[in-house]
Every structure is written in structure tokens, then in C-alpha cells.
Homo-oligomer: A and B are copies of this chain.
Amino acid sequence: MTESTPGRRRGHELENAIFEATLEELSEVGYANLRMESVAARARAGKASLYKRWPSRAHLVRAAVRHRGATRDMPFAPTGDVRADLERVMHRIAAFQEGPDGEAIRGYVGELTAASDGEELRDDIERPRVRMVTEIFEAGIAAGVLRPEALTPRLVNLAPSLMTHYFLTRGEPAPQEVVDEILDMVVMPLIAEPGRG
């Protein structure tokens, strides 16, 4: 922590400051209004330092989000109560969407093209979700309350996809009632072992 009055930072110290500035700007003004100049000013850095590292706003944002993801690790232990576990994951997704990650996703979507090199940011955000839901499903199958055939990408991704769809088209994370509806009318009926839970 050689900070206090940083005469001039470099390397990772500077990089982290830029990431933090980026995430704060994202939260405050959103992706569409994110200005490289504002990020630079907020990080007390020169624009050149940004462009030296990332060729575009999209790259910067992606790096910042990925950095944040690496920072806050989020272990998830399934309890065996599948519905409750899924609800927890969905709440976690909603919490993400309210912060800089949500804005990043929105920006990513806005700039996406069929030809776009995309993939990366989406994967960064999708992968941990898939991991969590897969664990939940596996626990449910082990407990005999979930149909083994439910463990398929389409169904594992279903709840997260519907959360994302809501967020993207409404501008805010799905409220509790929507979470309940998704679980009770769509997801659980598809995956639950008939005659149980």
C-alpha cells in the first residue's frame, strides 16, 4: 500500500485506480454516457495512459469488469433446497445488474454486431452463473428432487436468461414477484422430479 499522496503511480497501482474510476463512472452515468476523459480525470491520469492500455471504451470497460470479478470472489454452496438456491442466485444476479456490471452488459449489448468479436464479456458474466446453477442442479439430482435430464445448458441457463432479458428490456432488475413467477411457472415445473417438490 504505497499510496497516501501518490506523486506519480505506475503499473498495477495506476491500472487499479483507472479500473476503480471506470466502475464508479459506470455506476454513476451509465455506459452510454461514459467518457474516457471523465475516467481519466477521476483516476487523475492522462488520457494517453488509458489508450496505451486499452484501444477503446469497450475494452476498458470489459477489463474493469473482469478485474472486479477477479477481486470479489463469490463462493456458492447449494443447500439442497433447489428453489431456494435458485432464488438466491437470481437475487445475486439482480444485485449485479444494479451496479457497474449491469451497465457494462447494457453497453456491450448496445454495441454488439453479428460480426462483433463479442463472446468475451458475455462469457465472463455467464460462466459464473452457469457454474452456480449447475451445482444447484447437481445437488438437486443427488437428492432425488430434480430430473437428471434437467442438467442441460438450455435449462441451466433458463433462469439467468430470463433475469437478463427482464433487465435489458425494462432497465432494472426483475422484482421479487417476477423472480417468483419465473421459478414457479417456468423453471421448477420443467426440472422438478414429478411427484416431488
List chain A positions with a Cβ less than 8 A from chain B: 30-32, 106-107, 109-116, 118, 122, 152, 154-155, 158, 161-162, 164-165, 168-172, 181-182, 185-186, 189-190
- CA–CA, A168 and B114, complex, Å: 10
In the A-B complex, the 10 residue pairs with the closest CB atoms: A110-B110, A114-B172, A165-B165, A112-B171, A114-B171, A161-B165, A109-B168, A154-B185, A32-B111, A154-B181
In the complex, the count of this chain's copies comes to: 2
Q: Given the complex of chains A and B, what is the CA–CA distance between A165 and B158 in angstroms?
A: 11
> In the bound complex, do residue B114 and residue A106 qualify as a contact, i.e. CB atoms below 8 Å apart?
no
The residue from B110, B116, B158, B162 contacting A111, defined by CB atoms under 8 A apart: B110
A171 to B171 CA separation, bound complex (whole angstroms): 19
What are 25 inter-chain pairs, A to B, with CB distance below 8 A? A32-B110, A32-B111, A106-B109, A106-B112, A109-B109, A109-B110, A109-B169, A112-B168, A112-B169, A115-B171, A118-B170, A122-B170, A154-B182, A154-B185, A154-B186, A155-B185, A155-B186, A161-B165, A162-B162, A164-B169, A165-B165, A165-B168, A168-B168, A186-B186, A190-B190
